[in-house]
Amino acid sequence: DIVMTQTPLSSPVTPGQPASISCRSSQSLVHSDGNTYLSWLQQRPGLPPRLLIYKISNRFSGVPDRFSGSGAGTDFTLKISRVEAEDVGVYYCMQATQFPWTFGQGTKVEIK
């Protein structure tokens, strides 16, 4: 199974400041079709997960442009350019390149 490792696991951030979450996979996430199926999901308290980014860097419909994804191969990053109060929650990276699909442990973003 592909192991997904996120850092940090907790990120206290001052509103208006940037935040960055790293996700590393135990093997390359490049699929045989040439795509890399690495997604970022946000889960606000008490709510279901919500897709933010798919295939490394594609922002999903309705996601604010302060969220961006980057990376390649085994190293990926989610950046929030200016954290807002509504960004509080847990962020997960997830790979759907190879079954079983696997998640990172989650990174809790909270406001200082």
Partner 1 sequence: EVQLVESGGGLVQPGRSLRLSCTASGFTLGDYAMSWFRQAPGKGLEWVGFVRNKAYGGTTEYAASVKGRFTISRDDSKSIAYLQMNSLKSEDTAMYYCTGYHSGRFDPWGQGTLVTVSS
**Contact positions vs partner 1 (CB under 8 A):** 35, 37, 39, 41, 43, 48-51, 54-55, 58, 60, 90, 92, 94, 96, 99-106
Q: How far is the CB of 108 from partner 1 (least distance, A)?
A: 11
Q: Of the two residues 20 and 57, which places its CB atom closer to partner 1 in the complex?
A: 57
112, burial (CB in 10 Å: exposed 0-12, middle 13-18, buried 19+): exposed
DSSP 100: S
Nearer to partner 1, 74 or 95 (CB): 95
Q: How far is the CB of 112 from partner 1 (least distance, A)?
A: 23
Decide whether 32 or 99 has the Cβ nearer to partner 1. Answer: 99
* Least gap, CB of 99 to partner 1 (angstroms): 5
Cα–Cα distances in angstroms (integers) from residue 89 to residues 42, 60, 81, in the given order: 7, 18, 16
Residue closer to partner 1 by CB (options 33, 65) is 33
Q: Distance between CA 8 and CA 103 in Å, rounded?
A: 15
Q: In angstroms, what is the minimal distance from the CB of 82 to partner 1?
A: 25
Q: Which two three-digit tokens encode residue 88?
A: 């509080």
Q: Which residue has the tokens 């940090």?
A: 8
